[in-house]
Amino acid sequence: MKAEGCSALGMVKFFAIVLMMALAAIVQFNPQGAYGLTGGRAYVTGVVTKPGQKVHFDILLNYTASQPVSSITYSLETRNLPRGWIAKVHYGGQEITSLTITNMQILVIDLEVEVPETEKPGHHSFLFYAVGRELLTEAVSFELSVDVEALKREIKLSTEYPDVTVEREGTAKFAIVLDNIGETDELANLTAEFPEGWRVTFKGQSGDIFGVYLPKGRSAIIQAEAEPPEGVAAGVYDFIVRAQSSDLVANSTLKLKVAVVKAGTAERMLSTLYPELNIEGAKIIFFPITIRNLGTSSLTYRLSPLSVPSGWTVSFRTTPDDRTSSISSIFLAGGESATLYLEAAPPATVTLGTYTFIVRATSEEGASQDLSVAVKMTGSYDITMDFNTLFARTRAGETASVTATVTNIGASELTNVSLEVSAPSNWEVTKIPTFYDTLKPGEYKTITLMLKAPGNAEIGDYLIGVRATSDRARSTQILLRVNVQSPSISLWIIGIAAIVIAVIIIVLVYVKFGRKR
């Protein structure tokens, strides 16, 4: 037989073969050459919503190819979407139109569908498509449906003080709140039922009103005034205030009582329903205060804080929501009353305790009255914990480490902050550091947990419960999953044994057949 030589022609042939082999390998690993399987499903395929709202579908996409290095890019689109509807796909916090998935990766994307406000109630379905760009056969589609329901329409009348006392010559005034708790804007007409001879008017900011336009979710304060007839007898009189939309779908009624008393029997010029409030943590507090003109002539009252704890700021507001203007004086006609709010804002360094405020109302005639209110500030202690990973892997006799971040989400400082670990018996748990002396509100710190599995631990998954603790608060327990494998030495022995067997097989074959006869 002619021996194989290294002639020039032989070398050319050899390099040609090597080139072909390289090409073959490249083609084999071209993503186009992968044989894949597109999988996908929507966790929820039908949702109920209302016009003007957005619905979300969580869609899972996965691509399983025969070659682990391959990936595929999907174009994402919806078809047969009803006219006027808008669909957007989000992933990783941004809107996307296509997505590349690597092999064996599972991604969850968010399909957001906006239903126009003008959409009528009914069932609507459309298709979601994820079509592979490289290979159109790699595609997945779902039919998704949205049931559009009619919007809720509801308004509600309420008042803090439905029962008021007036003198015979006075006017009963009610601060009525009209809330639109429905899902559409409403134009509400105001009407009232009242005893014969009485006169009832509704007042807004611009004067007398009989209708209120309320966008959804908003509220309006209406002042209702009930003026008794001349020579009205002392007693209790019932009133009904009604608000209703023009098509009568949304309506609400409110019962009011007016007690007519003789002049001079009304109680105090300055009063409050809640002279002491308890709160947790540092918050702004509002005390509702009623100021009454006990006389028969109109007067202006000046309002002033007389005693305020150090660092606190106080203001008089018309409503708790009004953060732009504060009141320093108020004009009240004879017999009128008004409700104001005393806003008390604590300093940033406020400590726990009871704080007393004294405010004074002084009429232009010089009459004055003081009102004392107090707030008791109690502590709020809360702690939360998070891990860098909820899964760790180790071997019997070896240590896995995870890092916990503990955060003070309460309003008070926490002391002696540590981790409480519930590990299986014979596990060694080390905390680095063991504890923190203090943790200020909003502050966070990390503790590293070293979890050492016993040398004789059985192979498998172990759950280890961890919670953050302090002297005053504990977090909820978080379960860590630690996967324990065989001791590395024994695995290496098994692995090397397999390789040695392979080498022995190859050597035996070469010994037997490796020489030409």
Partner 1 sequence: MGETLAIAGNEMRMLLPSWRWNLVVALVFVCALAGSYQAYLTNEEQIESFGKGEGPEPASLAAFASGIWLDANAALPILAVISGFDTMSREKKTGGMQLLLARSTSKVSIVLGKFLGGFVPTAIVSFSSLLVTSGLMVALVGPFSSEELYRIAAFAAVLTLYVAVWVAISVFISTIAGSGMSSALASLLLLISLGGWSITSAALSDFLAPLPSFWTGGTTWYGALSELKVRVDEYVNWFSPPAVFAAGGGALLNPAVDVPPFVVQSRPPIFPVDVIETLRNIWPCISAMTSMLTITLISSYAILRTRGIDLESGRL
* 21 makes contact with partner 1 (CB under 8 A): yes
Binding span for partner 1 by CB under 8 A among 16-24, 89-97, 323-331, 334-342: 16-24
d(CA 211, CA 204): 10
Tell whether omega for the bond before 433 is within 30 degrees of 0, i.e. cis.
yes
Distance (Å, whole) CA 500 – CA 502:
5
Between CA 455 and CA 395 the distance in angstroms is 8
Determine, following the binding rule CB under 8 A, whether residue 415 of this chain makes contact with partner 1.
no
What DSSP element (H or E) covers 424? Answer: none
29 makes contact with partner 1 (CB under 8 A): yes
Query: Is 435 a binder of partner 1 (CB under 8 A)?
Result: no
Q: CB of residue 477 vs partner 1: minimum separation in angstroms?
A: 17
The one among 83, 120, 262, 517 contacting partner 1 by CB under 8 A: 517
Residue (of 255, 256, 176, 251) closest to 219 by Cα position? 176
Q: At closest approach, how far in Å is the CB of 391 from partner 1?
A: 4
- Per rule CB under 8 A, is residue 463 in the interface with partner 1? no
Residue 370 φ then ψ, to 5°:
-105, 150
**In terms of CB distance, is 306 or 503 closer to partner 1?**
503
Tell me whether residue 25 or residue 234 sits nearer to partner 1 (CB atom).
25
Task: Work out whether 234 is an interface residue with partner 1 (CB under 8 A).
Answer: no
Q: What is the CA radius of gyration of the chain?
A: 39
Segment lying near partner 1 (by CB under 8 A), choices 40-48, 83-91, 430-438, 499-507: 499-507
d(CA 387, CA 24): 46
CB 444 within 8 A of CB 417: no
Strand-pair partners of 480: 464
Write out the two tokens for 318.
Answer: 């018309």
DSSP secondary structure code for residue 293 in this structure: -
Query: Is the separation of the CB atoms in 155 and 188 below 8 Å?
Result: yes
Q: What is the C-alpha separation between 272 and 290, in angstroms, rounded?
A: 6
Q: How many residues bind partner 1 (CB under 8 A)?
A: 70
- Contact pick of 15, 35, 331, 435 for partner 1 (by CB under 8 A): 35
* Of 106 and 284, CB closest to partner 1: 106
Q: Does the protein bind partner 1 through residue 43 (CB under 8 A)?
A: no
Residue 479 found at the interface with partner 1 (CB under 8 A): no
Nearer to partner 1 among residue 274 and residue 510 (C-beta):
510
Of residues 85, 129, 198, 444, which one binds partner 1 by CB under 8 A?
129
The contacts of residue 190 (CB under 8 Å, 6+ apart) are 202, 209, 210, 211, 212, 222, 241, 242, 243
Instruction: Return the residues of window 337-376 that contact partner 1 according to CB under 8 A.
Output: none
| Residues of this chain, 139-178, that bind partner 1 according to CB under 8 A | 141
Position 15 contacts partner 1 (CB under 8 A): no
> Which of 319, 485 has the CB closer to partner 1?
485
Interface region with partner 1, contact rule CB under 8 A, candidates 10-18, 257-265, 344-352, 363-371: 10-18
Give the full edge-to-edge strand order of the sheet including 46-49. 46-49, 139-148, 122-132, 71-79, 98-102
- Name the segment binding partner 1 (CB under 8 A); options: 13-21, 216-224, 295-303, 309-317: 13-21
Nearest approach in angstroms of CB 34 to partner 1 is: 7
Measured from the CB atom, is 2 or 262 closer to partner 1? 2
Q: Which of residues 48-107 bind partner 1 (CB under 8 A)?
A: 62, 64-69, 79-80, 104-106
Of 149-157, 221-229, 344-352, 384-392, which segment contacts partner 1 by CB under 8 A?
A: 384-392
Can residue 11 be called a binding residue for partner 1 (CB under 8 A)?
A: no
Say what the alpha-carbon torsion angle 207, 211, 213, 216 is, to the nearest 10 degrees.
Answer: 130
259 is a contact residue toward partner 1 (CB under 8 A)? no
At residue 17, what are phi and psi to the nearest 5 degrees?
-70, -45
Q: Is 509 in the site for partner 1 (CB under 8 A)?
A: yes
Q: What is the spatial distance between Cα 491 and Cα 512, in angstroms, rounded to a whole number?
A: 32
Alpha-carbon distance 353 to 378, whole Å? 7
Residue 450 in contact with partner 1, rule: CB under 8 A: no
At 250 the three-state DSSP class reads: coil
Nearer to partner 1, 115 or 482 (CB): 482
- The rounded distance, in Å, linking the Cα atoms of 272 and 358 is 12
* Given 11, 15, 33, 422, the residue binding partner 1 (CB under 8 A): 33
Helix extents (H) in 348-457: none
User: End-to-end CA distance of the chain, in Å?
Assistant: 11
Q: Which is nearer to partner 1, 108 or 236 (CB)?
A: 108
Q: At its nearest, how many Å lie between partner 1 and the CB of residue 16?
A: 7
DSSP 8-class letter at 32: G
> Are the beta carbons of 447 and 403 closer than 8 angstroms?
yes
Task: Confirm if 365 and 312 have CB atoms less than 8 A apart.
Answer: no
Q: C-beta of 247: minimal distance to partner 1 in Å?
A: 39
16 binds partner 1 (CB under 8 A): yes
**Which region, judged by CB under 8 A, interacts with partner 1, from 130-138, 283-291, 359-367, 444-452?**
130-138
32 is a site residue for partner 1 (CB under 8 A): yes
How many other C-beta atoms are found inside a 10 Å radius of the C-beta of residue 41? Answer: 12
List residues near partner 1 by CB under 8 A.
Answer: 1-2, 4, 13-14, 16-17, 20-21, 23-25, 27-30, 32-37, 62, 64-69, 79-80, 104-106, 127, 129, 135-137, 141, 388-393, 459, 485-486, 488, 491-492, 494-499, 501-503, 505-506, 509-510, 513-517
